[in-house]
Structure 1
């Protein structure tokens, strides 16, 4: 039996990943396909007049699928070409669902090629236990190397001892200091990288036999970096370079230009970027910044970053960059947008909201015959319902008073606590644009904390397990 042949129309950005989806989907569903790319960047910008002007339909095409956001009357196209035109889903990654193949294979995000150096800031001020705990935390969240950060202007006598302690605990170590006794003690104890090297310490740091990070004498003096690189090369000292990322308001854009210049003028040299000057010194959530920084590093072949988690808003930077480096590696390797790959860095809001709608909520409320409370958060309101009524509003305290008045005997202390907790989660979901599902944790990406549901708690306490959320 001849399989139907479908023509998929798309834009330039989506072509590669669309073909990848169709290569797997077509054999499963049983159709043949051809992809045509119109001269537009984004498929969602297509409209019927443009398609009429530019599209040529190959022979033997049974029907044509257009992007879901394509504008205009498709009957015009059907009449003109003599075959059916249909809109597909808004996103081509939803084509498996469209064709009844909802399961998508997980993306392989195991690959990355950007090393994370995680700095223990002001290590001399910490106890040994705090240093080990911080190093283990960084490693657990994706750090490849632990950077021991010393205090400028001081000389710490325990540098070598601390480096040995960390290495004995299984960590790879770099030392961040310009003080000679600290650096020499760290290297003697096994540190494999020195941050940093310029003309202030070039004469002695280049003779220690380990890799150094070469930096300009001052960030704006790029030419000094050339002189330092020349001397390190002459002495056979292994090195990577860091042109220095500057904070916003202090030469940020110019510093980005220096990284582009560094890659152009040192095409085969390893480069490092210290990202803390942006994440620590910009009062904003850091996940988005880390993705952009990882993308910049990936495209410029910058294979290491130095990060830290000092200020509270940057407290998950190491984990964020770990996810970001994998995401951008996947996107660039597969020539696809970093979208619909994984949602671990979509933390404040959720990727998509699934709502029942007014009619379905009213219908559900009319059918409930038990005292268990159902809570929903949608249409900019909280919705609470059981057999005694259906209450909705934006103030959890007012709602609580309303459904408590309907049946006061139904609310003991533990039950009231549960409902208050769930309404608090629901209100958070409404405020931030997150999906709320009763008895389940809100989704905070890779920071999501597991919860034991009320049903599981009742089972553990030997209570009636037939009822859902009260």
Structure 2
């Protein structure tokens, strides 16, 4: 149950399920200072235990960046020291949703902080486009932090990671231009146009869609999730030039990357 406050604590007498308790006083205010939040929660737990209710989960409330994030983290730390065995909840979305940064790294750091402080439960939402996939990311992050906490080591080289666009080590195909006795010429940028035969490519409902136009009329349609499979099937059914085939392969690969990253794909536009 989310959430009990000072004004609703009495409802605990009617509950047989766990309830989250937040540091909100009778005036509906959540204190800014960590010590005040902790004192409120300590007072609430005493009242709840007098009622015979012991299934509470405490949430000092994580605050967004520049609105008191550090102070709220101090509240978690102090509360854990005061109540070593009480279950704590941290709503990480208060930070992730209000930060214009890619969510995998943010979720990983917050999971690490929660692990070190001793938080038991993490609450996450996917309320915006930029945070889609946060649940899956946080599951991976908590596994990473649990393993490294048990092994008493930093969260790296464990077999679990949240690296999505970057990599731990550079890999090489073993090719160097110095090995070749040929000249590599710079290819000028060009924008070929196809007047009569062309493709329209877009991403919709988790799949790549391709419409083939002949004489400006759509006559064939293809869909799938794998760029290579789509490319091969299209070339089996449609006779295109080498230049057009190269273009098709490039755009399909871009569409697949966009699909995997849950990112918008617009034909002929760069992904990054």
TM-score normalized by the length of structure 1? 0.39
Map 1:233-312 → 2, pairs under 5 A: 233-237=49-53, 238-312=55-129
Whether 1:201 and 2:19 are equivalent positions in the alignment is no
Map 1:138-157 → 2, pairs under 5 A: none
- Alpha-carbon spacing, 1:291–1:424, altered in 2? closer, same or farther (3 Å): same
In the TM superposition, residue 392 of structure 1 has moved relative to its aligned partner by: 4.8
In the TM superposition, residue 448 of structure 1 has moved relative to its aligned partner by: 6.6
In the TM superposition, residue 235 of structure 1 has moved relative to its aligned partner by: 1.7
Residues 90 and 122, structure 2, Cα contact 8 Å, conserved in 1: yes
- Alpha-carbon spacing, 1:281–1:317, altered in 2? closer, same or farther (3 Å): same
1:416 alignment counterpart:
243
**Whole-Å Cα distance in 2 between the matches of residues 258 and 354 of structure 1?**
44
Residues 343 and 351, structure 1, Cα contact 8 Å, conserved in 2: no
Residues 144 and 161, structure 2, Cα contact 8 Å, conserved in 1: no
Alignment gaps of 5+ in structure 2: 25-29, 194-238, 263-272
**Whole-Å Cα distance in 1 between the matches of residues 56 and 82 of structure 2?**
15
3-state SS of the aligned residue for 2:19? Answer: strand
- Alpha-carbon spacing, 1:337–1:344, altered in 2? closer, same or farther (3 Å): closer
Map 1:350-429 → 2, pairs under 5 A: 350-355=167-172, 356-359=174-177, 362=180, 392=186, 397-398=189-190, 413=240, 415-423=242-250
Residues 286 and 314, structure 1, Cα contact 8 Å, conserved in 2: yes
Report the RMSD for the aligned CA atoms in angstroms: 3.2
**Whole-Å Cα distance in 1 between the matches of residues 248 and 168 of structure 2?**
24
Residues 141 and 161, structure 2, Cα contact 8 Å, conserved in 1: no
Residues 215 and 244, structure 1, Cα contact 8 Å, conserved in 2: yes
**Whole-Å Cα distance in 1 between the matches of residues 95 and 69 of structure 2?**
9
1:227 alignment counterpart:
43
Counting matched residue pairs gives 205
Describe the superposition over 1:35-55 as per-residue Cα deviations: whole angstroms up to 9, x where unpaired.
xxxxxxxxxxxxxxxxxxxxx
Instruction: Single out whichever of 258-267 and 354-363 deviates more from structure 2.
Output: 354-363
**Whole-Å Cα distance in 2 between the matches of residues 443 and 354 of structure 1?**
23
Residues 219 and 244, structure 1, Cα contact 8 Å, conserved in 2: no
TM-score normalized by the length of structure 2? 0.65
**Whole-Å Cα distance in 1 between the matches of residues 132 and 250 of structure 2?**
28
Residues 126 and 135, structure 2, Cα contact 8 Å, conserved in 1: yes
**Whole-Å Cα distance in 2 between the matches of residues 424 and 195 of structure 1?**
46
Alignment gaps of 5+ in structure 1: 1-193, 367-388, 402-411, 429-440, 450-470
